[in-house]
Amino acid sequence: MLCAGNAWGGFTADPTYQDTIGPYINVGRASLFTVLSYGDLSQYDNTVTGPSLIRGNVGIGGNGNFSMSDGDLYGDLYIHTGGTATFSGPANHHGYHTFTNADTPINNALQDAWSLSAKAASEFATTNYTVTQGSFNGATENGNKNVTLFSTGRVVLNLQDFVMTGGTFTLQGTAATTYIINVSRNFSLNNASISLSGIMSSQVLFNIKGTGSQVSLNQGTSMGGILLAAQRKVVLSGGKISGRLIANQVAITSGGQVISQ
């Protein structure tokens, strides 16, 4: 059963939606996009300053605007009715298309992303993993340390906080491994990284639940996987994501990167 409060911003979670297909996170129609923004809750401005990089398609929903004043976009840009797209300064779109009034593909993608978030949030935590390095209590991740988890199956973690100020958190597995990591309160990386070993970014979901503080990946940070924060602002101030970024509002600055894999 999906969790309570599964309707938001005009989207209602599909109770039949599955959050995985085999070992892969089921992003559904959001697979069209590397960066996707809901553009709602008065968080309209999605900005890229530089020199930053997006490699893949970008979708801006709701009344969201997109502005890029420096950096490189290698992909198509889709803007919902009511939004605007602005390129200025040394920003480069590299010959790809900008589609305005692209309501259908954006809304379809946002619908599936919302269903994915709700389904993932409803999952019960599992303990079918081994801590092969460092320490991990299964409820929170805080501080500066190196941690490695290993599993050969489907792992669900329901955490309050995922806050790293250094070190590396490694998710290790096989072709049959999936990690779904729900975070209910704070998520931030500072001079830290989330590393994948033996698995791909499409096998890992970080689902940041509900409203709350902004999600931050600061200079010197990197992560692999799908970062989904449907009701929050995500700031990549030099941070790098290898996978996908789906959020309510996106700001990419100071060499931040999102690269689809």
Q: What is the 3-state secondary structure (H, E, C) of the chain?
A: CCCCCCEECCEECCCCCCCEECCEECCHHHHHCCEEECCCCCCCEEEECCCCEEECCEEECCCCEEEECCCEEECCEEECCCCCEEECCCCECCCCCEECCCHHHHHHHHHHHHHHHHHHHCCCCCCCCEEEECCCCCCCEEEECCEEEECCCEEEEEEEEEEEEEEEEEEECCCCCEEEEEEEEEEEECCEEEEEECCCHHHEEEEECCCCCCEEEECCCEEEEEEEEEEEEEEEEECEEEEEEEEEEEEEECCCEEECC
**How many CB atoms sit inside 10 A of residue 69's CB?**
16
The pLDDT score that the predictor gives to residue 219 is 87
CB 159 within 8 A of CB 140: yes
**For residue 186, is it within any domain?**
yes
The domain of 232 spans 32-259
The pLDDT score that the predictor gives to residue 225 is 98
* Amino acid identity for residue 233 in this structure: K
**For residue 14, is it within any domain?**
no
**For residue 235, is it within any domain?**
yes
Q: Which residues of 14-47 are buried (b: 16+ CB within 10 A; e: fewer)?
A: beebebbeebebbbbbbebbbbbbbbbeebbbbb
CA pair distance 23, 153, nearest whole angstrom = 8
**For residue 77, is it within any domain?**
yes
Q: Which two tokens stand for residue 200?
A: 């791909």
Q: How many domains in the chain?
A: 1
**For residue 27, is it within any domain?**
no
CB 182 within 8 A of CB 123: yes
**For residue 2, is it within any domain?**
no
The pLDDT score that the predictor gives to residue 5 is 52
pLDDT digits (tens, 9 = 90+) for 187-225: 999 999 999 999 999 999 999 999 999 999 998 899 999
**For residue 64, is it within any domain?**
yes
Q: Using CA atoms in the order 230, 227, 215, 126, what is the torsion angle rounded to 10 degrees?
A: 90
Which residue's entry shows tokens 């995500």?
Answer: 234
Q: How high is the mean pLDDT in each 10-residue block of the chain (261 residues)?
A: 58 96 98 92 72 95 91 96 91 93 96 98 97 89 90 97 95 98 96 97 97 93 97 94 96 94 75
**For residue 68, is it within any domain?**
yes
Count Cβ atoms within 10 A of the Cβ of residue 199 and give its class: 0-12 exposed, 13-18 middle, 19 or more buried.
buried
